[in-house]
Amino acid sequence: MQWTDLKARLLAVGQAQLTGEQADRYIARSAAGPGAGGRGAVFFAMGSHRVKLAISPVSTIEIAHRGNGIADLFFEGQRIPGHLLEPGFHCPDQAFITVTGSCIFSCRYCSVPGIGGKRKTVREIMEMVESVRDHVHAVSITSGVLTTIEEEETYVLEVIKNLASFNLPVGVSIYPTISTPDHLKELGVAEVKFNLEAATPELFSAMCPGLDYGLLWQVLDRSVKLFGKNHVFSNVIIGLGETDAELETCIKKLTSGGVIPVLRPLNPVGGLSGMPRPSAERLKKIFALHERALAEAGLDPRLAVTMCTNCTGCDLVPGRD
């Protein structure tokens, strides 16, 4: 089975049971992204390819840890040899940190508001990065919103000022104000990700009450001017109820504006538990659309140095998968 096909099928399930030798150091316990707040997740890798799967004792997929990270994945009667990656705080190779683990907003697909995490101090964040400095090539920062969008931005800017001493590329994904891209650029941030989340404004209003879809497009436009092509990203979830045509329109609008879409299969948590995950067939169809749109716009995800497009754990990424 080819990797793209295998990854699409694994992402359509999204979970695996973890058996065999003790594997604590390979388990990611994230405060952001798919699987946040659950039993944790593992990164299964084959060569340079990887996929992140949430741990579930009832999954039909099994990952058997043989020791020292060597693992076999059992799927549809096949044994697929590979290895587990050490996740650091959230994903391998990057110090990916959630600054504020709670949120005043209630986006329906997100489990962060229910986790009720706290805000990390600047000192805690510096110590976290220091502890993995030798194994990471980038720092990535995301955050919920503790009190207001403006206050969160101010706090994140303070964190970023301090991170400069590590001399690593920094990627930032927060809910923005209109001036967030300019403020981040002034501090030397390398890449930004502002998430549209939904393929249409109607779906966005239904999913993210109180947040502004039009503002996100303006901020993405400004970001491409400041950070350049291949360094601005936007998550769009596959499976919120959009049609393939709506998703294609959104993808092309992003790529023609110089933004690399991060097309994230729905992880049905939060207010959407009970909704189906997108099928492998749909993921492969969208992957082909994505690949074409990026090529037409002259965008290359392999040039990303931070965050999800560099990590590739949760999505099919053209050029990498």
Query: Is there binding between residue 33 and ligand SF4 (CB under 6 A)?
Result: yes
Separation of CA 129 from chain center: 19
CB of 143 to ligand SF4, least distance (A): 14
| Residue 173 CB coordination number (10 Å) | 24
Compute the C-alpha angle 303/266/103, nearest 5°: 85
201 has which bridge partners? none
Closest CA to 121 of 100, 104, 91: 100
Query: Is there binding between residue 52 and ligand SF4 (CB under 6 A)?
Result: yes
Compute the C-alpha angle 38/40/43, nearest 5°: 140
CB of 317 to ligand SF4, least distance (A): 9
Q: How far apart are CA 11 and CA 54, in angstroms?
A: 10
Spatial contact of 163 and 124, defined as CB atoms under 8 Å apart? no
Q: How far apart are CA 18 and CA 38, in angstroms?
A: 14
Binding mask 256-295 for ligand SF4 (x = CB under 6 A): ----------------------------------------
Choice between 258 and 313, CB closer to ligand SF4: 313
CB of 248 to ligand SF4, least distance (A): 22
Q: How far apart are CA 312 and CA 321, in angstroms?
A: 8
Question: Taking the CA of residue 313 as centre, how many other CA atoms within 13 Å lie in the half-sphere pointing to its CB?
Answer: 27
CB of 150 to ligand SF4, least distance (A): 25
Query: Is there binding between residue 193 and ligand SF4 (CB under 6 A)?
Result: no
Query: Is there binding between residue 311 and ligand SF4 (CB under 6 A)?
Result: yes
Query: Is there binding between residue 192 and ligand SF4 (CB under 6 A)?
Result: no
Stretch that binds ligand SF4, among 18-26, 100-108, 182-190, 303-311 (CB under 6 A): 303-311
Q: Read off the tokens for 27.
A: 């388990």
Query: Is there binding between residue 169 and ligand SF4 (CB under 6 A)?
Result: no
Q: Is 285 exposed, middle or buried, given 0-12, 13-18 or 19+ CB atoms closer than 10 A?
A: middle
Stretch that binds ligand SF4, among 125-133, 225-233, 278-286, 307-315 (CB under 6 A): 307-315
Binding mask 80-119 for ligand SF4 (x = CB under 6 A): ----------xx----x-----------------------
CB of 178 to ligand SF4, least distance (A): 25
Q: Which of 88, 169, 313, 318 binds ligand SF4 (CB under 6 A)?
A: 313
Q: Read off the tokens for 141.
A: 């920062």
CB of 30 to ligand SF4, least distance (A): 7
Choice between 293 and 314, CB closer to ligand SF4: 314
Instruction: Please give the DSSP secondary-structure letter assigned to residue 60.
Output: S
Stretch that binds ligand SF4, among 78-86, 117-125, 273-281, 308-316 (CB under 6 A): 308-316
CB of 202 to ligand SF4, least distance (A): 25
Q: How far apart are CA 194 and CA 216, in angstroms?
A: 7
Residue 321's alpha-carbon distances to 2, 12, 167, 172, 259, in angstroms, are 10, 15, 29, 23, 19
CB of 320 to ligand SF4, least distance (A): 11
Chain residues that interact with ligand SF4, rule: CB under 6 A? 33, 52, 90-91, 96, 307-308, 311, 313-314
